């Protein structure tokens, strides 16, 4: 799991949220983004996830069987080829023993392959590329998301991951494997605090113009995305609690699992402040079965 520092807190006191949390003005934090928009223009819905396939983005913790069943359904069955990338973990003995495959094999998945390297030049090995080309599903395990970016970002294998989505495949990831799906990399040392503003590096960008956080409610991280949102008004923030997934298909994000997904959308902030006056609600909480329309910037009823 990503390192979490309990002393990395923000002071938010100016405004009272709808959840009874008192808030102060946000500190300015500078961030690097792969794509920059002028002004406050918001991306179109298709810009967030312009692919035919699906994402299952899990906030860490125990993964319910229902999420494995959903993954199996989307890829066409448990006999379909799944590539598993365990690179985020630093436990090489765990990888060598095949521990990263156990959660799938125990649930009846029969066609599993491992893609793993810590050297960027090896990411483009023919064997890895062929494994991904033959897979219907790809899974990123947890650990340190920076290890994933260091090994795979801007490689031929990275391009093949996007191709998998373009042909209707499914990418699922948990914890670090969730954060890596955004365009900006939250987590680990990449968290702002009053003492240490930081620069966010780029993720793998399967969802463009987004920053994705994980372990959110259980680790009291629900305000960590706010400095990110304040610094770049074109971003969409997605924060996912443990044992819960944000499922992205086209323009629609839906929730599966045991807890909540939080959506931070500046367009919605403007509407909520207009509608509710002095009440400030920096995020919308979605639970199992609820859906959010990325194009309309609204919760679907």
171/175 Cα distance (integer angstroms): 14
Q: In this structure, is residue 26 part of a structural domain?
A: no
Within a domain: 102: yes
- The answer to whether residue 274 scores a pLDDT higher than 60 is no
Query: 244-249 and 236-240: which strand pairing?
Result: unpaired
Q: What is the mean pLDDT of residues 273-287?
A: 71
Of 172, 159, 169, nearest to 135 by C-alpha is: 169
| CATH number, position 77 | 3.40.50.880
Burial class of residue 68 in the structure, from the number of CB atoms within 10 Å of its CB (0-12 exposed, 13-18 middle, 19+ buried) = buried
Q: Which of 48-52, 147-151, 187-191 has the lowest mean pLDDT?
A: 187-191
Q: What is the H or E stretch that residue 269 is in?
A: helix 266-276
Report pLDDT digits (tens) over 9-48: 222 223 223 332 333 232 233 333 333 333 455 665 568 9
Residue 141: which pLDDT band, with cuts at 50, 70 and 90?
Answer: very high
For residue 276, being part of any structural domain is answered with yes
Confidence grade of residue 226 (pLDDT, cut at 50, 70, 90): confident
| pLDDT at residue 84 in the model | 98
DSSP state of 190: B
3-state helix, strand, coil in the chain (%, to 5): 25, 25, 50
State the alpha helices, DSSP H only, in 27-170: 45-48, 65-75, 92-96, 99-105, 126-133, 145-152, 156-166
With respect to residue 244, please indicate whether it lies within any of the assigned structural domains: yes
Residue 281 and residue 294: Cα distance in Å, rounded? 18
For residue 215, pLDDT beyond 60: yes
> How many structural domains is the chain composed of?
1
What is the band of 270 on the pLDDT scale with cuts at 50, 70, 90?
low
The H or E element spanning position 230 is: helix 226-231
Which domain covers residue 231, as residue numbers? 49-292
Q: Which helix (H) or strand (E) holds 253?
A: strand 252-257
Q: Is residue 159 in a domain?
A: yes
- Does residue 42 form part of some domain? no
What local confidence, expressed as pLDDT, does residue 42 receive? 61
pLDDT tier for residue 301 given thresholds of 50, 70 and 90:
confident
Parallel, antiparallel or unpaired: strands 236-240 and 170-174: unpaired
pLDDT confidence of residue 109: 98
Least confident of 39-43, 126-130, 135-139, 292-296: 39-43
Q: Is residue 16 part of a domain?
A: no
Q: CA quadruple 10, 25, 226, 215: dihedral positive or negative? A: positive
* Residues 104, 65 contacting (CB under 8 angstroms): no
Yes or no: say if 179 and 191 are a contact pair by the CB < 8 Å rule: no
d(CA 175, CA 216): 10
Give the pLDDT of residue 280: 62
Residue 14 CB coordination number (10 Å): 11
Q: Pick the more confident residue, 200 or 135.
A: 135
Q: What is the pTM of this model?
A: 0.82
Element (H, E) at 268: helix 266-276
Has residue 255 been placed in a domain?
A: yes
Query: Residue holding tokens 């991306």?
Result: 43
């Amino acid at each position: 799991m990503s390192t979490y520092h309990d002393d990395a807190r923000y002071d938010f006191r100016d405004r009272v949220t709808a959840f009874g949390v008192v808030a102060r003005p946000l500190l300015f934090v500078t961030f690097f983004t792969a794509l920059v928009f002028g002004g406050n223009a918001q991306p179109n819905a298709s810009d967030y996830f312009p692919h035919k396939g699906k994402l299952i983005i899990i906030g860490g913790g125990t993964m319910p069987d229902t999420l494995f069943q959903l993954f199996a359904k989307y890829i066409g069955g448990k006999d379909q080829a799944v590539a598993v990338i365990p690179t985020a973990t630093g436990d090489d003995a765990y990888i060598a023993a095949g521990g990263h495959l156990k959660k799938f094999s125990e649930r009846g998945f029969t066609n599993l392959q491992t893609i793993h390297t810590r050297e960027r030049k090896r990411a483009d090995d023919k064997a890895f590329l062929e494994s991904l080309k033959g897979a219907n599903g790809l899974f990123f395990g947890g650990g340190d998301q920076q290890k994933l970016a260091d090994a795979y970002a801007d490689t031929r294998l990275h391009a093949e991951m996007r191709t998998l989505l373009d042909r209707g495949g499914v990418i699922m990831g948990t914890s670090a494997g969730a954060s890596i799906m955004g365009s900006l990399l939250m987590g680990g040392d990449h968290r702002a605090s009053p003492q240490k503003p930081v620069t966010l590096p780029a993720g793998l960008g399967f969802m463009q113009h987004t920053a994705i956080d994980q372990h959110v409610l259980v680790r009291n991280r629900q305000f960590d995305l706010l400095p990110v949102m304040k610094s770049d008004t074109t971003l969409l923030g997605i924060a996912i609690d443990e044992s819960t997934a944000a499922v992205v298909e086209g323009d629609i994000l839906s929730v599966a699992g045991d807890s909540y997904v939080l959506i931070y959308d500046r367009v919605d902030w403007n509407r909520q402040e207009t509608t509710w006056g002095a009440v400030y609600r920096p995020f919308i909480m979605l639970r199992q079965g609820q859906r959010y329309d990325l194009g309309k910037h609204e919760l679907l009823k």
